Structure 1
Amino acid sequence: MDLDGTLADSMPVMTAATDRFLKELGLERMGGGHHRWAGRTPFDIMGALKEHNGLDIPVQELVERYYKLVDAAYTDQATVMPGGRRLLAAASQRGVFTAVVTSTLRSVAEGFLAHQGLREMVNAVVTVEDIRRGKPDPEPYLLALKISGLRADQALAVEDAPMGARSATGAGLATWIMAPRGAQDFPRIAGVAGFINRLDQLIPCLQG
């Protein structure tokens, strides 16, 4: 499953960090709306930001500056999405392999899982640092499948954004969309199994 907006209720933290980051750069906004960027790697996002605004700052430095702001608030302020703890506990009890597949940095993902007491219930963490091509490319989920030893038809994915959904469905996974505020704005994507507003709604789908 994805992290930001799916397992972690972290979007307010990410939005605040983004606003502060842009202010420090003298910029007003990213442009394009949430769904344009959600799920993309930070290197893709910063590369586009650099090019669009003619910034004379290396992409790596932009990523590092942004994540200093994220790290300052993420661990203490991001919380677990509704039903997330119950879903992971049920999966662990039934021997179901679980993986977090995220476009963020490993330090952020691992820090969140450890702080929330979830790390022992997650078998693998795939981050942007493990791949060459980020979401919407299927590579992140294909790597998670490889690590798990499962076939695509033996697994499911949970995402909250179109980029992530395309990555998961492209890997052949039946994909559920975490949409607490409804699915009215979500585009139609082949392979999307349905929409949920709590992660523990997926407990009946677990097969150990």
Structure 2
Amino acid sequence: MSRTPIRAVLWDIDGTLMDSEPWHQQITVEVCRGYGHELSDEDCRSMHGVAFREIYAALHARRPFPIDLHAWADEINAQYVASVHQVRPREGAFALVEAFAARGLAQACVSNGGRMIVDANMRAMSIPHFRFSIAREDVANGKPHPEPYLLAAKMLGLPPEACAVIEDSPTGARSAKAAGMLTIAWPQHPAVVFDTVDHLVEDPGALDWDALCG
């Protein structure tokens, strides 16, 4: 049975469009250190693509924070927003956005980050081709639940199978697969292990988009 032609590309932001993961990690490590949490390399790897509330809950269970989730997240977010002008796009990402726009594909951003971070990234990218962005507050369930991507398809007026997703993290890829979308894993680090995805690539642009969109 032939696949539904792709009509939209949904992008993760942190680590996919923006090379922002090192900034998030450095700021999170520094803020946590200030509250008595020394994060190991393994801690940092396990946080990749995971929403703040899950990270906070895991760390708080290990050693209680003297501040609540919202104050902790606000502190991290404020530091990131102050430095977002220094964050660079991921190499090749913006060229792909332009190429997809030239094909007439709809595009939107679907993040597990909070609205403050998403809006800061959207302003920093300043790309006109994104129809909208979805942040963690926009859904009841964040990634790896399919809700964020299903909401994006609904907002575009497209069936999930007409959407392709580009993700850098296993958490995001699980969300896209669970939503029934063509899932393209574009990791920054070759050691990252994914569950089943449709394509694991070094360059999403190298895929046969003529066939995918035909």
TM-score (norm 1): 0.88
Matching of residues 28-107 of structure 1 within 5 Å: 28-29=38-39, 32-73=42-83, 75-107=84-116
1:150/1:139 CA distance change after superposition, 3 Å? same
Look up the SS of the partner of 2:106 in the other structure: coil
Query: Which range moves more in the overlay, 165-174 or 31-40?
Result: 31-40
Partner of 1:16: 26
Offset of 1:32 from its aligned partner?
4.5
Task: State the AA in 1 paired with 2:90.
Answer: M
Partner of 1:168: 176
Look up the SS of the partner of 1:19 in the other structure: helix
Size of the aligned set, in residue pairs, is 203
Contact preservation (8 Å) 2:25, 2:44:
no
Offset of 1:122 from its aligned partner?
0.7
Look up the SS of the partner of 2:193 in the other structure: coil
Partner of 1:145: 153
Q: Deviations over 1:111-166 (max 9, x none)?
A: 22222321x11112011010111111111111111111111221111111111111
Query: Which range moves more in the overlay, 166-175 or 25-34?
Result: 25-34
Task: State the AA in 1 paired with 2:13.
Answer: L
Matching of residues 116-131 of structure 1 within 5 Å: 116-118=125-127, 120-131=128-139
Distance 2:97 2:208 in 1: 9
Q: Deviations over 1:72-91 (max 9, x none)?
A: 21x22221112211111122
Distance 1:91 1:52 in 2: 44
Distance 1:45 1:172 in 2: 27
Distance 1:88 1:203 in 2: 16
Partner of 1:186: 193
Q: Unpaired segments of 5 or more residues in structure 1? A: none
Distance 2:81 2:204 in 1: 25
Distance 2:86 2:207 in 1: 25
Task: State the AA in 2 paired with 1:142.
Answer: L
Distance 2:207 2:131 in 1: 18
**Structure 1 consecutive aligned stretches of length 4 or more whose deviation exceeds 3 Å:** 30-35, 198-203, 205-208
Q: Unpaired segments of 5 or more residues in structure 2? A: 1-10
Distance 2:120 2:208 in 1: 25
Offset of 1:204 from its aligned partner?
2.5
Look up the SS of the partner of 2:70 in the other structure: helix
